[in-house]
Every structure is written in structure tokens, then in C-alpha cells.
Structure 1
Amino acid sequence: MMTEAARPTVRYQWMLAGLLSLNFGVVFFDRNALSFLMPFIKPELQLSNTEVGAFTSALSLSWALSCLLVGRVSDALGKRKLILVMCTLCFSCTSFLSGLAGSFFALLAARLLMGVAEGGVMPISQALIVQEVDPLRRGLAMGVMQNFGSNLLGNFFAPLILVAVSLSFGWRNAFFLAGLPGLVMAGLLILLVKDPPSAPSNGRKTRKTGALLEMLSDRNVLLCMMMSVFLVGFIMVFGAFMPLVLLSDQTIDQTTMSWLMATFGLASMLYSVLVPGGSDVAGRKPVIVAMAALGALLPLGVLFADGTLWHLFVLFALGAVITGVFPIVMATVPSESVSPLHLATVLGLAMGVGEFIGGVFTPMIAGAAADSFGLTAALWILVALSLLVASCGLFLRETAPAVLARRVGDHKKLSID
């Protein structure tokens, strides 16, 4: 790992975290566009709830495979910047393709290609954060990178902008608009990001199979993979079906729906700082358990809402706290549990497995359940997923550097006494 003397300036560290966060926000602006535009697309293309879930599953499938492959290639070649720029350019092009789709299968193909392009962005970005940012600020920087931009652009501005554009100019033009920011981001990445030096190998060569088995033998890595499955499943089902659940209530129109979803995104921005930053101080384990359990408040609140609109806005703001757990589970804990030689690989593994199982199968199950039992079935699935994350968190091994340092200090004090 990089020594403190060789580490970039604090200014560059936060510039990097902010730029990568903004880029990932553009990724989620494109990715979430389909969910917010689905009320317009579904009647035009005559889609069933199962087909709605299939779009989310298809993107998650290709995203997962890309996570696993691109993360490993990035570790092998060390050309993180080049690969990141290529991914950014490609996912912008696939947004344009979504706007051209005229059938279920054409749109499905566009979403598959989008997943291939976007899947490598997060493991590479988080690997850059681990290599360049001070470990004592790692949780906060990783939270900002993964959650701040994605919620600002993907969950707050996306529903407001895309729904408004769709109402005025049609959903196809909304997709065309969504593809433009990625082209700008690719240019900024070329100008401002530097490739960090490769991690030293200490003269030790590890076979790829042996390295993979070593990672899979770590309890934290396995638990993070499981929690990633449940978390990705949660956000995929939430994004695909919550707009439809809200609009099934005759008192909620499309504009109100967009503001409720935007409230979720705005609150998630705040939690992207508070939750991972809190885990730097209080520890990864207690924060994961508490925040995941609180996430169940949102679907439960929608299930048993009394019809008061401001209650829904409060519930969306409180329930969004579960999003703060994502970077801790998918990036911070895995990166603190394995050798720095395999950073992007373990991050791609945690994210890829979550996307493959949670993102592919959970929306399909939720769609089938919604067709059979009504849209409220998706809400009960959200409750179960949040509680499963909290349960897995109970078995984690603590990895926060500040917490471990305090434990060592307490042990020394006890020894002296």
C-alpha cells in the first residue's frame, strides 16, 4: 500500500473522490432513467410487470459480469484510468440506444449493453480511492464516491428532470438527454485523474486461482457478498416497482411520485456522508446492522400509510438511510479485508455477485409476485431484504482502522494496569 509520504495531497484526494462520485452519479442517472420513465414506456410498449422486472435483471446480469471481468483486468494491467474513460464513453452511447428502442427486445438489448459498459466503473473507482486516499478517511471517501453523486444525479435530479422532459417531449428524448453528461465526464477524467503506482508485490507471485480462493475463504468477503446480494436486490426492486406502487394510489400523480423518489435521493446524499463517515468512528459492523434495520421503515410505512402525503415524504427520507450501507458493504469492508494486490478484483467480486444474484433474480421474483399477488408483494420483499442485511452484519469482523487502533490502545492500557 502507498506510504504517507508518497500519497497525493489532501486536495487531490478530495478532488478525486468528488470527480469519481460525479461520474458514478452520471452512471446512475442513465441506469435509473428506465425506472422513472417506465410509467410512460409501459403502456406504449404494452409491457407486463414481469417484463418490467426483466429489464432490471438484464442490466444487472451484464453489469455483474462486467464487474467481475473489468475489476480483474484492471488489477492485471494497472491501467485504471484508461479503462474507466472507455467505460464512461460506452455507457453514454447505450443511453442513446435505449431512446431508439421500439420493442421489448430492442430495449432489453440496449439495457444489456449498458450493463456491460457501466459494470466496471465502480470497482475501478473504489480501487482508486483505496490507493490514493488516507485510510483514516477511507469510509467517508468511499461513501461519497459511491453514494453522493449517484443519489444527487441518479435519485434526486433524475426523476425531476426525466419525468418533466418525458411529459413535455416524450420518453425517447429523455433517454437522449441522459446520454450527454457521460461524454463531458470522460473528458474531465482524461484531464484530471492520474493513474496511481501499482501496489508492490513484495516479490511474491500468487496464482489467480489461489488468490480467488484466499479471498473467498475470508469470512468478511463472504458476508459482504451475501449482503451485497440483498442490498442490490433491495435497490433494484425499489427502483423498478416503487414508482408503480405510488401511482397505483389514485391520490398520487406522476409529479408527486417524482418528488417522493427525489426525496429518497436527496436524503441518500446526506447519508452518503453520515453513514460511511460514522463507520470510520463507530465501526463498520454496528453501523451496518443499525442502518439496514432502519431501512425496513420505508416499505413498511408505504404498506401501512394512512394516506397523509407528508408522512410519505418523511418515510422516504428516513428509509433512505439503508443506502449509506452500500459503500461500506461493497467496498470499504472488502478492501480492508484482503491484500492491496487484489483491490479491484475483490471489489468486483463483491459488487458483481450482488448484481448477478440480487440484481438479476430479485426483480424477476418481485415482478412475478406482483403479477400474482399485487404490487404490495414487492414491498414485503423490500422489508425482508433489509432485515437480511442487518442479520448478516451481526457476524462481521470489525475492520475500521480507528476502531482497531482504539482496541489496541485499550489493550495496552489494560496490560500496563
Structure 2
Amino acid sequence: MSRSHLGSPKDEKPSKFRWVVVGMIFLVYTIAAADRANIGVALPFIRKEFEMSNTEAGALISLFLLAYALAQLPSGFASSRFGVRKILPAAMIATSVFTGLIGTIHSIVALKLYRVGLGIAEGPLPIGMTTTINNWFPAKEKGTATGIFLSAVKFGPVIVPPICAVIIAVWGWREIFYFFAIPGIILAFAWYWLVTDHPNQSRFVNKAELDYITADSSQPRTETQAPTRPARNFKTLDRFIRARRVPELDTNRKIFTSWNIWGCALGYCFQLGISSVLLAWIPTYLITVKNYSLVNMGLVSAAPWVGAVIGNVLGGFLSDRVLRKRRKPGMMLSALATAGMMYLLINSPADPLQYGLLLLLTGVLLSVGYSSYMVYPMALASKSKFPISSAVVNMGGQLGGAATPFITGLLLDSLGWNYVFMFMAISSLFSFVILLTIAEPLGLEEPQSTTSAN
């Protein structure tokens, strides 16, 4: 137990250090997201130096995401066994190293190898972030905290296009990767110093804050969750989203045989696939199809991710405070709305301001349910097994993210951009249908052994 927890007065105010932790999460993952996003801005210039087709360019993007997806399960097991504090800083340093190495390439083979290395290096980061949120926040704040975390995934691409445009104009595309390699190393040491695996290990957390964080887990979850969600207010919605009590997933076997977990992973697969296409291909689309200048490309490319930051924070707040910890409504709204926005992008305006506003709205709607995919397993799995359940969901999402840039390249080489947008609209509708089949957990079923003992 930390020294700050001993001898604390009963009437002391909570220290609120958990919000410093979520601030660190935001900073670390903003840099990680920037490290993966900068290739999208650099790609048109890399292709001038190294000739490649659209399919080959899409495959290059997919290599990172495939390695990233395959790293999820091993990262989940490693984080569960060794703790986030040991795994995450090392992953951040490795991420920075591979980012810098991309700037040194002299062949496509080297570029592919370093992108694979970057994907493996970043693999432990999302598991570490969600595990930290699960340990450091009470249930009623987890959606908000996760919304802040996932807004970093989108804020990275907000800062990347304009910064990269300036770096390319002044120096060249290689310097992009040298520049973005530096912050991750600094933040790795800051994380190790500031953030512990559990709040009761932190010298910055007083007893009042610790009691607040652990209030939900100090009593049986079957008794604490259901009363906070009066069914009378959401009867129609609860029937539609299949709200019910669910059994706790406290073993690996239960996690790997849970349709709720796999259904969430599949829904995330389609939604993250769309996000991946926008991240990887929008800069190329703006330059080659819309014929935007480098400056306009940098500004308009950032628009969907500005919207996504808004959508993530708004979605986390709505699921926590308005919908009282219901996660499926936001996920389903995003799926339906994104399908509609993809259809609108087929006949999009040429004016940079109008197109930027359309992309901004697309980002908001795509992301309003985004954080719920990461929070959803928290209501199903025990804390000790949560890293595994989170790894399954994130692996599903990243496999979708890995597939879609390559599929986009194939579609562009044979059909054209309209078919790309239709493909994304259909994918989003598939996500909605899958989400209909999973339950909305309102609490945990009473274990049979406990009932018998009582």
C-alpha cells in the first residue's frame, strides 16, 4: 500500500490523480496514433521515389495493421501476467525506434519490414490503455475515460497532416519519421514514473480517491450495477438492445466461447476497417481526385479526425451519463449513420470547405459509438481476465483495419472510388446487423455456488 494511503483523514478531498493518468493515456496514444498515421501523408511522396500500384500501396498499409492485430492476444496475456507498467514503456520505445527507421529506407523491402516491426511494437499499447482505465476508474466514469483515450486515436491524425505538410515543404518526407520518433521515448519514461498498474500502488493517490475508485468493486457487481439503471426509463430501448444480466467471464475458456465478445469484435472489425480506409487513403484521394494543393490536403485530411475527437468524447459522456452505462446504442447509431455518410461521399462537393465539413460530420458520427467497443468487455469480464477480452475485441477490429486498405487498393485498380465508398457503406450495415445479436449487459448473474452457500 502506498504511503499516501496511511493515516489519511476521513474528510479529505479525493486527489483526482486518475485524470492525470487519463491525460497521460491521451498523450501517449496521440503520439502512437501519429506514428501510424504519418505514412498516409508521406505515401504519395514515397510512391514518387519507389514505384508501386494502388494495390501494393494498400498492402503496405495493411502490413502494419496485420502485425498490430496479431500482436493483440500475446499482448493481452503479457499485460495480464507482467503488468502494464513493465510492458507499455518498452512498447513505446520500440514504437519510436521503428518510426525513425522508416525515414532511413532505401528499398520497399525495408519499408515493409519496418512497418511490420512498428505494428508489433504498438500492439501492447491499446491493451495497456484499456486495462489501466479498467483499474483506475469506477464503472460510471469508464465510458468517459475511454472516450478520451480513443479520441487520442483520432487526434493523432488531426495534427499529422498539417505538421507533415510543413516538414515536407521545408525538408522532405523522410524527416517526418525522424520528427515523430522523439516524443514517444520521452513519454515512455514519464509513464513509468507516473502511472502504476493499480491506484493503490500510486504515491499520488490518497485514500479518498482510492475509496471512490474501488467503491463499485468493493461490493458484489450483481448488487451495484442494476440499481443504477432504472428499467422504467429505458424499457423500449432495453428490449431493442437485448439488455439483460450476463454471466461473468472469469476464465479464458469463457472469454473465447462468448458470442458477446466475438460479436463485439466483429462489429468493431467493420467499423475500424472504415476508419482505416479514411486514415490511409483520404490524403491520396484529395491530391489525385480532388486535385487539392498540399496545404488544402493537409487541412481537409484533418477534418474527419477533428470530428472523431468530438464524437469519441461525446459518445463516452452519453453512454456514461445519459444512457447510464448502456454501450450498444452508441455503437448501433454509429453503424447506421456511417453507412449513410459513406453514400453521401460518393457525390461529395469539390469545394475544400464544404468537403471538409462533410468529413468532419462523418468523423463525429463514425466515432460517437467508437469508445463503447472498448468499454463493452469491462461489464462482462473479471478484472483479472479483462486484458484477454479486450485483446480479442481489439484483434477483431485491427484485422478489419488491416484488410480494408488492401481491399481499397484492389477496388481502385479495377473499379474506382465510388465502389470504395459503397464498400464502406455496406460494411457499416453489416456491423449494425451483428450488433443486434449481442446482449447489453445490465449486470452479472448471481453465481450458482454463491446462491447455494447463502
1:228 aligns with 2:228: no
Q: 2: CA distance between counterparts of 1:44 and 1:157?
A: 25
What is the match of residue 325 of structure 1? 369
- 1:314-393 → structure 2 map (5 Å cutoff): 314-321=357-364, 322-329=366-373, 331-356=374-399, 358-393=400-435
Are the equivalent residues in 2 in contact too, given 1:61–1:360 (CA < 8 A)? yes
1:125 aligns with 2:169: no
Residue 181 of structure 1 and its aligned partner are, at CA, apart by 0.9
Q: Give the counterpart of 1:398 among 423, 440, 453.
A: 440
**Deviations 1:35-81, CA, capped at 9 Å, x for gaps:** 1111111121111111111122111111112211011111122x211
Give the number of equivalent residue pairs: 384
Are the equivalent residues in 2 in contact too, given 1:370–1:376 (CA < 8 A)? no
What is the match of residue 92 of structure 1? 96
Q: Give the counterpart of 1:175 among 177, 200, 204.
A: 177
Q: 2: CA distance between counterparts of 1:267 and 1:400?
A: 30
Residue 9 of structure 1 and its aligned partner are, at CA, apart by 4.7
Tell me, which stretches of 5 or more residues in structure 1 are unaligned? 201-209, 405-417
Are the equivalent residues in 2 in contact too, given 1:91–1:114 (CA < 8 A)? yes
Q: 1: CA distance between counterparts of 2:340 and 2:27?
A: 29
Are the equivalent residues in 1 in contact too, given 2:22–2:148 (CA < 8 A)? yes
SS at match of 2:70: helix
Q: 1: CA distance between counterparts of 2:178 and 2:382?
A: 42
What is the match of residue 165 of structure 1? 167
Are the structure 2 counterparts of residues 290 and 343 from structure 1 closer, same or farther at C-alpha, using a change threshold of 3 Å?
same
Q: Give the counterpart of 2:289 among 243, 249, 259.
A: 249
Q: 2: CA distance between counterparts of 1:242 and 1:381?
A: 15
1:155 aligns with 2:199: no
**Deviations 1:221-260, CA, capped at 9 Å, x for gaps:** 0111101211221122222222222222354222212111
1:218 aligns with 2:258: yes
Q: Point out the more displaced range, 385-394 or 190-199.
A: 190-199
Residue 307 of structure 1 and its aligned partner are, at CA, apart by 2.6
Q: 2: CA distance between counterparts of 1:241 and 1:189?
A: 32
SS at match of 1:130: helix
Are the equivalent residues in 2 in contact too, given 1:22–1:150 (CA < 8 A)? no
1:39 aligns with 2:44: yes
Are the equivalent residues in 1 in contact too, given 2:40–2:283 (CA < 8 A)? yes
Q: Give the counterpart of 1:12 among 13, 17, 20.
A: 17
Question: What is the TM-score when the length of structure 1 is the normalising length?
Answer: 0.86
**Deviations 1:393-416, CA, capped at 9 Å, x for gaps:** 223322367xx9xxxxxxxxxxxx
SS at match of 2:196: coil
Are the structure 2 counterparts of residues 107 and 9 from structure 1 closer, same or farther at C-alpha, using a change threshold of 3 Å?
farther
What is the match of residue 10 of structure 2? none
**Deviations 1:163-222, CA, capped at 9 Å, x for gaps:** 22012210000111011110111121022111216999xxxxxxxxx9333113323201
Residue 127 of structure 1 and its aligned partner are, at CA, apart by 0.5
Q: 2: CA distance between counterparts of 1:258 and 1:103?
A: 26
Question: What is the TM-score when the length of structure 2 is the normalising length?
Answer: 0.80
Are the equivalent residues in 1 in contact too, given 2:104–2:174 (CA < 8 A)? yes
Letter in 1 for 2:298: S
Q: 1: CA distance between counterparts of 2:341 and 2:42?
A: 22
Are the structure 2 counterparts of residues 342 and 44 from structure 1 closer, same or farther at C-alpha, using a change threshold of 3 Å?
same
Q: Give the counterpart of 1:57 among 62, 71, 74.
A: 62
Q: 1: CA distance between counterparts of 2:331 and 2:114?
A: 34
Structure 1 stretches of 4+ with a deviation exceeding 4 A read 197-200
Residue 17 of structure 1 and its aligned partner are, at CA, apart by 1.0
Greater helix proportion: 1
Tell me, which stretches of 5 or more residues in structure 2 are unaligned? 7-12, 202-213, 218-249, 445-454
1:102 aligns with 2:106: yes
Are the structure 2 counterparts of residues 298 and 40 from structure 1 closer, same or farther at C-alpha, using a change threshold of 3 Å?
farther
What is the match of residue 76 of structure 1? 81
Are the equivalent residues in 1 in contact too, given 2:330–2:368 (CA < 8 A)? no
Q: 1: CA distance between counterparts of 2:36 and 2:357?
A: 25
Residue identity over aligned pairs, in percent, reads 24
**Cα RMSD after superposing both structures:** 2.4
Letter in 1 for 2:327: R
Q: 1: CA distance between counterparts of 2:15 and 2:359?
A: 34
SS at match of 1:349: helix
- 1:14-29 → structure 2 map (5 Å cutoff): 14-29=19-34
- 1:188-337 → structure 2 map (5 Å cutoff): 188-196=190-198, 211-280=251-320, 281-282=322-323, 283-321=326-364, 322-329=366-373, 331-337=374-380
